[in-house]
Copies of this chain bind each other. A is one copy, B any other.
Amino acid sequence: MRVLGVDPGLTRCGLGVVDGGTGRTVSCVAVDVVRTPVDASLANRLLQVSEAIEEWLDRYRPEAVAVERVFSQHNVRTAMGTAQAGGVVALAAARRGLPVVFHTPSEVKAAVTGSGRADKAQVTSMVTRLLNLPHAPHPADAADALALAICHLWREPMRARLAEAEARAAELARTHRARLAAAAKAAAKMKGAAR
């Protein structure tokens, strides 16, 4: 399975493609950071991010796209730009019918380092080791994009199995409720007939 991880942003947008092998082996296919000029209009910056994503989807043909979920409230303006860049990425994937999953920063950190509170340096160091890279990806956005892809590869089977189990449980509950309703109806009919 091949996953494109995206650490969305307008100033720097991290992109990383990772292949998942058997077990937990992962390998890096490509990694880069796309930048858009600060003085360009928001619409044009989004267009540049969109074009870069389309190009990566064409070139690397990932089977899924993992995007960082933005929550940050530190700087609303930046958070909005990041959210919009993430939206544009999700749109490009949805256009091609590719599944898009958003992962929170702590999910990503926990997946690659074992701790949801790991710092940037720890994430970069683990990504470098896990992917057997000759040197650490730079800037941090590039390492984050790879971490997102790895997180997706490792979490997704579990998430999918959980979703399946939940769907099965919901189905059982529905069947049970239907049987109860049928039994109640039958009981009411018998009562009516007994009168």
Contact = CB atoms under 8 A, between A and B. Distances in A.
Contact of A43 (B47, B84, B100): B100
A73 B76 contact: yes
The copy count of this chain in the complex is 2
A102 B100 CA distance: 28
A13 interface: no
Contacts of A79: 80
A17 interface: no
Main secondary structure of the interface of A (DSSP, over half): helix
A43 B90 contact: yes
A86 interface: yes
Nearest to A100: B43
Query: Size range of the interface on A?
Result: 20 to 34
Contact of A100 (B41, B50, B76, B94): B41
Contacts of A76: 71, 73
A143 interface: no
Given A44-B94, A87-B88, 9 more contacts: A42-B90, A43-B100, A46-B87, A47-B91, A50-B95, A70-B80, A73-B73, A80-B80, A84-B90
14 contacts: A42-B102, A43-B93, A43-B100, A44-B94, A46-B87, A47-B91, A47-B95, A71-B76, A80-B83, A83-B87, A84-B84, A84-B90, A85-B87, A87-B88
